[in-house]
Amino acid sequence: MKILHTADWHLGQNFFERDRLEEQSAFLDFLLQQIEIHAVDLLIIAGDLFDTANPPRAAEQLYFDFITRLHALKHCEAVIIGGNHDSAPHLDAPRTVLSKLNIHVIGSLPEALDDAVLSFERGGHRLRIAAVPFLRDRDVRRAIEGESFDEMEARTKAGILRTYQDLATQIEGTRQPGEVLLATGHLTAVGGRVSDSERSIHIGNLGSIRAEQFPSLFDYVALGHLHEPQAVGNCEHIRYSGSPIPLSFSESAHKEIRLLTLQDDQSLSQQGIPVPLARRLLRMEGSADTVLRAIDELIISGDELAPWIEVSLTEGDISPLINDQIRAAAADKQAVVLKVGRKLRASPMAPHPEQANKAISEWEPLAVFEKRIEDYAGDLNSDTLKQCFNHVLNAVQEEDV
């Protein structure tokens, strides 16, 4: 049995007022090719299928076109869970229809945990999946009047762990000999490398769950949310597949999907399949002359989409003339400059130096708040203020989806 783990497609992402549909369409073509080449039996999409709760119609069309083509292959089912960017009701709405096509959608945590456990059998191999979507605060914790933010964070984390443990206990009681067990999740695990394109999730700090806190019963945990492909800590069986395309200039160009093979002896092997890069996101930094030389040295192959460039000038003013020269030089090379900015020295207090050369409209909300309270001299310490802000931000984001 072959299982393919992917996540964080973010269909419909708007990047500097440009859509990513051409790149995402190229990835989906590649994904279907790999499903055919490797005779994949099950595709797992571990959350953030869409970039927003109300995705553009073109993004939805891309999704349903992919589902149609996947079903036409006749040999591959799919499990799709909701992420923090997804609207759970939006994902779940066509669930009944999609189930007839062997597409199993878990947008939000079902009231009956039985409904989150999916069973598959192929060629004598048995597989069960605890299909856990992004767990919102309301899924795992009831508000208690007067509790502190530390208590709220601790109970949210405990609720997440309890959900996994309850599912593991339930599955363990009915486990068949030789049955392989998987779990999914969409969260931040301690030790994961974070780029600047992930939205903070859960109350308090981003480090939510440690690898050793996942039930040891699971042979593999397919995670979404962090965009760099990676194992969690030293646990090779707990992994982020990463996003299939770079979603910010800070992300590396290395992208992959994860192929799992259930062997005849019921062992589970895995390998990464590199995803070809349809478009490069390039950061160029230095003086205007340095940037112009870097652009002149660009080599662009005929089959790649026009690279997008972010320029950070380290000296001199950004005059209209320099701006135009840089953009014209890129256009001559069939590349596009999305931004010309000045690299600023980051404040020693600021925990987000990658935000320093961005326009305020591009900053993450938490980075804006941290900048605002740098000179705050009130009674509350900055950590408490940030916890309060994270709680409000989390509540607002949950209302949006």
Q: Which CATH number is 63's domain given?
A: 3.60.21.10
Residue 59: count other Cβ atoms within 10 Å of its Cβ.
Answer: 22
Residues 313 and 218 in one domain: no
Q: Which residue has the higher pLDDT, 398 or 19?
A: 19
Residue 67 pLDDT more than 80?
Answer: yes
* CA dist., res. 129 & res. 147, Å (int): 35
Amino acid 240 reads Y
Considering the domain architecture, whether residues 114 and 234 belong to the same structural domain is answered as yes
Verify that 335 and 233 share a domain, yes or no. no
Same domain as 201, residue 92: yes
Torsions phi, psi for 389 (to 5 deg) = -65, -45
Do 220 and 289 lie in a common domain? no
Q: How many domains are there within the chain?
A: 2
pLDDT at position 177 over 90: no
Cβ atoms of 247 and 224 within 8 Å: the answer is no
Mean pLDDT (whole number) for 344-369: 56
Choice between 76 and 149, residue whose per-residue pLDDT is larger: 76
- Domain end call among 274, 293, 312: 274
pLDDT for the residue 349: 45
Tens-place pLDDT, residues 24-52: 999 999 999 999 999 999 999 999 999 99
What span, in angstroms and rounded, lies between the C-alpha atoms of 131 and 107? 10
Domain of 392 in residue numbering reads as 281-400
Predicted confidence band of residue 53 (pLDDT cuts 50, 70, 90): very high
**Quick one: pLDDT band at residue 69, thresholds 50, 70, 90?**
very high
Give the pLDDT confidence score for residue 152 in this predicted structure: 72
Residue 381 and residue 242 share a domain: no
Q: Cα 101–106–108 angle (5° rounding)?
A: 150
pLDDT at residue 210 in the model: 87
Is residue 264 located within the same domain as residue 354? Answer: no
Say whether both 7 and 127 belong to one domain: yes
81 residue type, one letter: I
Res. 292 pLDDT band, cuts 50 70 90? very high
Q: Which residue has the tokens 């301690």?
A: 190
Q: Which of the four pLDDT bands, split at 50, 70 and 90, describes residue 124?
A: confident
- Indicate whether 134 and 12 sit together in one domain: yes
Q: Flag whether pLDDT at 265 surpasses 90.
A: no
| C-alpha distance from residue 393 to each of 235, 360, 399 (Å) | 31, 17, 10
Q: Calculate mean pLDDT across residues 214-240.
A: 94
Instruction: Please tell me whether residues 33 and 179 are part of one structural domain.
Output: yes
In angstroms, rounded to a whole number, what is the distance separating the alpha carbons of residues 72 and 267? Answer: 30
Task: Give me 312's structure tokens.
Answer: 């950070």
Maximum C-alpha span of the chain: 71
Give the 3-state DSSP-derived string for 332-369, with helices as H, strands as E and coil as C. Answer: HCCCEEEEEEECCCCCCCCCCHHHCCCCHHHCCHHHHH
pLDDT at 401: 52
Exposed/middle/buried for residue 296 (C-beta within 10 Å: 0-12, 13-18, 19+):
exposed
Final residue belonging to a domain, choices 228, 246, 274: 274
Q: Which of 224, 257, 274 is the last residue of a domain?
A: 274
What is the model's pLDDT at position 206? 38
Residue 166 in this model has a pLDDT that exceeds 70: yes
> Could you tell me if 146 and 265 lie in one domain?
yes
| Contact (CB, 8 A) for 76 and 35 | yes
Write down the pLDDT at residue 198. Answer: 60
Strands 18-19 and 14-15: antiparallel
The predicted pLDDT at position 263 comes to: 87
Element (H, E) at 259: strand 256-262
**Does residue 195 surpass a pLDDT of 90?**
no
Q: What's the mean pLDDT when you consider all of the chain?
A: 86
Residues 312 and 234 in one domain: no
Q: Look up residue 194 and give its two tokens.
A: 């974070």
Most confident of 300-304, 312-316, 321-325: 321-325
